[in-house]
Structure 1
């Protein structure tokens, strides 16, 4: 019974993340995706059914697949092949990557096309100072042999900018991956807004940026922030439409 309860809780959280993706304006129609590793099952994870909008995802229509991309729940639904490549790579290689979130936001795609990448222009941006991986664009990641390169580029970091493509975060929970994506995307939005002013960009000294990054990554602060924000966002979803739980 405990395993069933754990799976249902995971499905609820993952469905919530899809709905929040839509509410935050991060949706790219049917082409953005979030995955979560099944409880106590390293080789199986959940993804959205290919063709569903994020606003249509609910706990019951998530699809369970294995690391070969085969359905593991006897569902006739399919999953996004490019999404499978990216997500399976990190689930297989990183024991702490229980959730993987990938977006094509306007700000994220804009910064992904800048040679300098993400700049520490604001307190929010400084949280990611020297903590963002970069992956050079290789084309649409349809082939599983690209997984090794994705893993190598990610290393032990929890956030990545896929150049000329978009953003990616991982977390020990769905809540943690969402938290990182929210602030990574916010950092990109800040950068795009600043650059549009045409003014001279002010970047603090490296030691200041590193200090802020260490403050933000303090385990106690991080855990509390992730939990409080996630519970608040679930309350918001429940007020709007609790159907994601079904």
Structure 2
């Protein structure tokens, strides 16, 4: 009688993970569940991507992305897909990757050396501000922490054309908070928690602006005050944890609800 257990599909796809890849998969899968908990989902669309470290790739540019067709609440460490800059699957996964999603991410990962993580959302508040003629206004506590950090990129339609990449990079420059006109919000950073902190602040700024404009004319924040607020805000700074404490607190909340992302 054969008593050997049949390997799980995930074990067949990922027979022997490097510890650094395993850590990256766990953190990214947890982040997808955090987004789901916060309501930052768009059916099966949008993406959070992470560039794997050289210790895993030997210097090649390789990335983890969500499987196309799954809701964020279904993403796990093992079903994340490893791809290259062209979106080719590298780990034997049978899951598809959405090319419209990775076009933008590939351009940023490839063109910005510090872009370890890229996040993109279509939240109602984010898209609303992206569609507003004046964009994000310097009128609240959260916008005041993003002084000089927000870039804008003009709408060019569905992001499936690689030739948009250079124009996107030119629009972004070195600014880590990005408003894609008529489209949504994007953030990138040197580490996943930092990227999350930037996107959360940008999203919160949009929510407050949306609420404020529904009531009347907002009170502007001066350039001097906004500049000082951004300088005093430490949540994006790697020397001060770069949002790790906030992100970890949200992961603990996810763990209490459903920790199946660890599979």
TM-score by length of 1: 0.94
Over 3 Å counting, the alpha-carbon distance change for 1:218 and 1:35 in structure 2 is closer
* 1:239 is the counterpart of 2:256: yes
> 4+ runs of 1 displaced by more than 6 Å?
none
Q: Is the 8 A contact 2:46 2:121 kept in 1?
A: yes
Query: Contact 2:52/2:62 (CA < 8 Å) preserved in 1?
Result: yes
State which of 31, 40, 44 in structure 2 corresponds to 1:17: 31
Deviations 1:15-52 (A, max 9, x none): 11111111111100011110000111451101001001
**Matching residue of 1:214:** 231
Q: Secondary structure at the match of 1:36?
A: strand
Deviation at residue 153 of structure 1 after TM alignment: 1.0
> C-alpha displacement at 1:184, in angstroms?
0.7
Query: In 2, distance between residues paired with 1:231 and 1:177?
Result: 13
| Deviation by residue 1:92-139 (Cα, 9 ceiling, x = unmatched) | 011111000000000000000011111111111111122101000000
Q: Does the alignment pair 1:229 with 2:259? A: no
- Match 1:159 to one of 145, 155, 177: 177
- In the alignment, the residues of structure 2 paired with residue 66 and residue 109 of structure 1 have an alpha-carbon distance, to the nearest angstrom, of 29
Whole-angstrom CA distance in 2 between matches of 1:225 and 1:126: 18
Residues 97-246 of structure 1: matches in 2 within 5 Å?
Answer: 97-197=115-215, 199-217=216-234, 223-224=240-241, 226-246=243-263
Shift of 1:223: 2.8
Unaligned runs of 5+ in 2: 1-16
Judge conservation of contact 2:120–2:187 (CA < 8 Å) in 1. yes
| Alpha-carbon separation, structure 2, partners of 1:222 and 1:72 | 34
Q: Which residue of 2 aligns with 1:26?
A: 40
Are residues 1:71 and 2:89 paired?
yes
Look up the match of 2:20. Answer: 6
Any stretches of 5+ residues in structure 1 without a counterpart? none
Matched-pair contact (CA < 8 Å) for 1:216–1:222: no
2:8 corresponding residue in structure 1: none
State the partner residue of 2:12.
none
Higher helix share: 1
Distance 1:229 1:218, change over 3 A: closer
Quick one: distance in 1 between partners of 2:236 and 2:158?
35
Distance in 2 (CA, whole Å) between partners of 1:173 and 1:36 is 9
CA 1:225/1:71 → structure 2, altered by over 3 Å: closer, same or farther? closer
RMSD after superposition: 1.7
Shifted more, 226-235 versus 209-218: the winner is 209-218
Secondary structure of 1:61's match?
coil
Distance in 1 (CA, whole Å) between partners of 2:19 and 2:117 is: 18
Q: Distance in 2 between matches of 1:219 and 1:132?
A: 14
Preserved CA contact (<8 Å) 1:120 1:203: yes
